[in-house]
Chains A and B, each alone.
Chain A
Amino acid sequence: MKAYLTRRYLFSASHRLHTDAMPEDWNRATYGKCNNPYGHGHNYQVEVTVSGAVDRGTGMVCNLVDLDGFVRAEILERFGHQNLNTLPEFRDLVPTTENLCIRIYEILQRGFHHAHLEKVRMEETMMNSFAYAGGKDLRD
């Protein structure tokens, strides 16, 4: 029996939406107050969905201890209470939540092998959310 398990995590970080490739007025027009020079912060919610056959011995798709441990070490420690613009991955990439969502998906895809990664969904605020499934269409 195949089931899908979703776990939600929280971290806080700041960012500024700005690209040096474009002039100041383009940045201001495109990003609005998100372009304010010193950045601003969000409480990001990350939902990680993994899937797989439910193991007959454990009743689990994957052990949450493994998923929590990986996410804590590789994602929450990396992004929590950071200014995203200062991190190497965003040196040449605007730290929109779209790009952050893709980056987090890639970290999981590369390093977490206890279950199949389905998707990463992120809420930047209660009013907006983003999801990435490695380029695949989402089921719902």
Chain B
Amino acid sequence: MVYLTRKAEFAASHYYHNPEFTPEQNRALFGKCNNPNGHGHNYTLEVTVKGSVDPTSGFVVDLKQLKDVMNREVLDAMDHRFLNKEVPEFLHQIPTTENIAIAIWQRLAPKLKAAQLHRVRVYETPDLFVDFYGEA
């Protein structure tokens, strides 16, 4: 089994707000992340797949195909977007880094054919990242 990781970057804005909470609860819980007009990050995405090395190609996965899937499923949807308003998953769910990692996993997992998705890592900043392994 060999693990292969491909990296991508996207820039997006978001804010944290739960309409079931009062304005005071939202402010207390989310602090400045609750500012209503949003704020942005340069996100770094690392997608790790695993599989055996194909004896003919020497590949775990065709990197071009992986790149195309990441571009189509993730970057086209999230890059230079306001996540709360423009990405369907976040119309009714807070776009925390945790939920972004889960959403990216759910977008990629059904589209990857040759290799198996192992981990989605999303950096919100160089000092904060979330890993999701598809665990319930």
Contacts and interface: CB of A to CB of B under 8 A. Distances in A.
Interface string B122-136: 000011111111011
Interface in A55-71: 57-61, 63-65
B98 A60 contact: yes
A3 B18 contact: no
A8 B128 contact: yes
Contact of A5 (B18, B97, B133): B97
A2 interface: yes
Interface in B12-58: 16, 18, 20-21, 29-31
Interface in A1-52: 1-9, 49
Nearest to A118: B131
Interface residues of B, number: 28
A90 B94 CA distance: 44
Q: Which of A4, A6, A63 has the most CB of B within 10 A?
A: A4
A59 B93 contact: yes
B119 interface: yes
Given A2-B135, A57-B21, A61-B98, A8 B127 contact: yes
Interface of B: 3, 16, 18, 20-21, 29-31, 93-99, 101-102, 119, 126-133, 135-136
Q: Which 6 A-B pairs have the closest CB atoms?
A: A59-B94, A59-B96, A4-B131, A2-B135, A8-B127, A54-B98
Interface of A: 1-9, 49, 54, 57-61, 63-65, 140
